[in-house]
Homo-oligomer: A and B are copies of this chain.
Amino acid sequence: MKSRIHFIDTTMRDGSHAMSHSFTKEQVSLIAQGLDDAGADIIEVSHGDGIAGSSINYGFSKTRDIELIEAASKVVKRAKLGALLIPGIGTISDLQEAYDHGVRAVRIATHVTESDVSLQHIKAAKDRGMFTAGFLMMVHMAEPEKILEQARIFEDAGVDYVNLADSAGHLLPDDVRRRVSLLSEKLSIPVGFHAHNNLGLAVANSLAAAEEGASYIDGTLRGLGAGAGNCQIEVLSAVLERMECATGIDLDKILKVAEEAVEPIMPRAQVIDTASLMLGYAGVYSSFLLHARRAAEKFDLNIKDILVELGRRGMVGGQEDMIVDVAYQLSRSQHKAD
């Protein structure tokens, strides 16, 4: 490893998807306190889709996110309290509100090819003295050179580091290495990595990222997250401790918070089931699953074939209406082949 690994815990942000956005203030308080004591560097709290994500589109939060942020802010002493902001979902006035309630680290997230939509938000965060990251989602959809070009937009805008997110859990360790090593070499600012476990590779991919020079790694307690979940942070902590890599994490304490504060409230165990495996294999958003399942029934197709075709065409969130067209075309071409 190049340097100390900084852990960003996103149990109460990306993990919120797996909780149907139903975290309570008491739960957040307990988890945030445990993580702070265990040595996490940044503790992210917000709706799964970031600040102001609570909506009919993305699911309503049971408790207002700002109340959850406030609950965390009261107990976090050593770590920075963080939040995610996706331009178009969250606005600068939402960012101001989060700041007013204690958020001091923000990650501005865009699709891997769209980092230029983040510039105003980055400036707003930096103007407030916040620790600010540029966060590229779905990085399997772009080659390393393209990602570097996008990361440079963040770098020029003054972010503190650039984070690559394998949002669909589609990358293999070598894919991660190629992306992280190029950015580590070419950028003057640190690189981070955010893994999903759809192909069972979240820990290995995070390790590969760290080996290639990433110094900010995301994870969640017990791997809590949408679909197959995220990188299980206490597991990666144990692996890095075995490798004598400094992380600032107290392994006993992080095991304790995972076991006592998160495991008991999980609605289901975080496993790789057929649906999450297929999403990772195809490299598509989890929001495609329901539509693809319906289209598979309608056109008598294998759902995997539809998802793979959607991945091949590089479809992104918001293009769900195209799924029926794709299924129709697939069904015609499969019919001709019969």
Asked, given contacts A232-B200, A251-B304, whether A259 binds B273 with beta carbons under 8 Å apart, the answer is: yes
Contact with B along A196-232 (1 / 0, CB 8 A): 0001111111010000000000000011000000011
Which residues does chain B contribute within 8 Å of A252, judged by CB atoms? 302, 304
Asked if residues A201 and B199 are in contact (CB atoms below 8 Å), the reply is no
Tell whether A274 is near chain B: CB-to-CB under 8 Å: yes
The yes or no answer to A271 lying at the interface (CB within 8 A) is: yes
Are B269 and A201 neighbours in the complex by a CB distance under 8 Å? no
Q: Contacts A242-B281, A302-B252, A304-B252 hold; do A272 and B235 have CB atoms under 8 A apart? A: yes
**Across-interface contacts of A202 in B (CB, < 8 A):** 200
Contact call B274/A235, Cβ cutoff below 8 A: no
A105 touches B (CB below 8 Å) = no
B243/A172 in contact, CB under 8 A: yes
| Nearest-Cβ distance from residue A311 to partner chain B, whole angstroms | 10
The secondary-structure label for the interface of chain A is helix
What is the count of identical protomers in the complex?
2
Q: Which residues of B contact A281 (CB under 8 A)?
A: 238, 241-242
Would you list which residues of chain A between 303 and 324 have a CB under 8 Å from chain B? 304
> Given A200-B203, A232-B200, A304-B252 in contact, is the A239-B274 Cβ separation under 8 Å?
no
Given A172-B239, A255-B274, A268-B269, 5 more contacts at CB 8 Å? A201-B207, A232-B272, A238-B280, A251-B304, A269-B269
Residues in chain A within 8 A of chain B (CB atoms): 172-173, 199-205, 207, 222-223, 231-232, 234-236, 238-239, 241-243, 251-252, 255, 258-259, 263, 268-274, 277-278, 280-281, 302, 304
